[in-house]
Amino acid sequence: MKSIFIVCLTLVAAGCGSSSPVADDACMKAAAHLAACGTPVAMPPSCDADAAGALVQTSCADLTAATQDLKADGGWFSFNSVACAAGMVRYCPQPACTAPKYPSVSDHCADYIAIDGCGGCQYYACREAQAAQACGPDGYYLGYALKYCERFLSSLRPRMSPAGQRFLDGARNCLMDFVESELPYDLTCSDVKSRALASHVACYHDYGFCELPVRDQYLLINTVDPAQLDLAAGLRTATSCL
């Protein structure tokens, strides 16, 4: 136990290796919280400020369970690895999608919807490429839909219950079907984003988000980056479920 506190105090003294005062403060608070909970953390050269903030909000019981999981898996005790083990999927390493990239499968975007797994996410790359107005990495197709489609299927889905996996599969198809049937290729970037995000509420509701185990709901919400939570219109469904 003494060595645990020494490691965490070392992180505090080092400011967690961050150059931002705000990030320094978050990392120091996280290190102190981990120390108070008796959670072993290896000496990372720096820490993710968002992960640090999330860890401060995680109970000691959850942190203990997370580090026990890491021990069983032989995991590396860093801020991000503990956050990942605690269910914050956005901090987990994301397996690379090895499926072919657009346009090597088809020039018809709708054909991608039938492809299982992360390969089907190339539907959104196809839509971006064929849209009258390219919206780029900040637009809905690339900055939200493709990004989270791949993250949900590669990082989140293996961690969910069978019911959660069925939900993800159904919601994925629902969202793509909406884009294909309701969003013309000549829409502006702002119209694409607003109309597509609005569809998330209905798709999540219709495929049973509110009936999912609480752990699945927690994992899903914690897969989205904090900076984009205001864009995750579908996750507002969680508020109506509570």
pLDDT in tens, 123-177: 999 999 999 999 999 999 999 999 999 999 999 999 999 999 999 999 999 999 9
CA–CA separation, 214 and 242 (whole Å): 10
Phi, psi of 73 (to 5 degrees): -90, -5
Task: Name the residue type at position 108.
Answer: H
Q: Which residues are CB-neighbours of 214 under 8 A, at least 6 positions away?
A: none
Res 43 pLDDT > 60: no
* 230 vs 151: which has the higher pLDDT: 151
pLDDT at 63: 81
Dist CA 131 CA 129 (whole Å): 6
Residue reference for tokens 């021990």 = 71
Contact 5, 28 (CB under 8 A): no
Global pTM reads: 0.76
